[in-house]
Amino acid sequence: MQNLKLYNTLSRKKEIFEPIKPPHVGMYVCGPTVYGDAHLGHARPAISFDIVFRYLQHIGYKVRYVRNITDVGHLENDSDSGDDKIAKKARLEELEPMEIAQHYSNSYHRDIDMLNVLRPSIEPHASGHIIEQAEMVKKIMNSGYAYEKNGSVYFDVDAYAKKYPYGELSGRKHEEMLENTRELTGQDEKKNSFDFALWKKAAPEHIMRWPSDWSDGFPGWHM
């Protein structure tokens, strides 16, 4: 097979691509949150990873390309507060949340097909893997890197950063995050404002909810 160089975000340099189990390659790509029509922001990753997918196949690899559909848990302001985007859209259009998710999933696929982008090998929906996500939250809690508050579970960034280099990929320094985010206005449940939800307790009026050890709720967008 031909050599392929890819940029490694961890090392900050281009490196020869070496699959874990050649000739098999696994790709996991974050897909759309399906509460509205697709836009250029959806097209960019679809085209970018389509090129990678096609080229890996072209040079002889057997590729499993997985791209998820987020149909639950993505809150309005992306900071673990507000309403679920799909649930809000469902109320506005007087439809069920899954009707909204299905409608905009179909719309997304039509738009992406027009760009001649190949479909992924597997396209899992977040709502179809609630049990697995809840089990993962349990494992994170048992490892000491998450805490429960009022029925919601949050990832404890500070606890994790004491053992592992949190922020290594993004370049964000944990110490700077601590210095700049001590004020937790409107985020009383969190130890630190940069902690993020692994499971959110559903409000009484929230339609999309599942039972768990902590509350009737839904997995956080980050899961």
CA gap 85, 136 in Å, rounded: 23
Class of domain 5-124: alpha beta
Closest CA to 109 of 43, 30, 65: 43
At 85 the three-state DSSP class reads helix
23 prior amide bond cis, ω within 30: yes
Closest CA to 192 of 162, 171, 170: 162
Other beta carbons less than 10 A from residue 134's beta carbon: 21
3-state DSSP percent of the chain in helix, strand and coil, to 5: 35, 20, 45
pLDDT at residue number 40 = 92
Task: List pLDDT tens digits, range 74-89.
Answer: 665 555 566 677 777 8
Q: Using an 8 Å Cβ cutoff, are 196 and 217 in contact?
A: no
Please tell me the pTM assigned to this model.
Answer: 0.85
Task: List pLDDT tens digits, range 70-125.
Answer: 888 666 555 556 667 777 787 888 878 888 889 999 999 999 999 999 999 999 99
Task: List pLDDT tens digits, range 144-164.
Answer: 999 999 999 999 999 999 999
Which part of the chain is CATH 3.40.50.620? 5-124
CA gap 199, 217 in Å, rounded: 7
pLDDT at residue number 181 = 56
CA gap 153, 28 in Å, rounded: 25
Please give the structure tokens belonging to residue 124. Answer: 């899992």
Other beta carbons less than 10 A from residue 112's beta carbon: 21
pLDDT surpassing 50 at residue 184: no
Output phi, psi for 116, to 5 deg: 65, 30
Name the percent of the chain lying above pLDDT 70: 90
More confident residue, 177 or 68: 68
CA gap 90, 87 in Å, rounded: 5
pLDDT at residue number 153 = 96
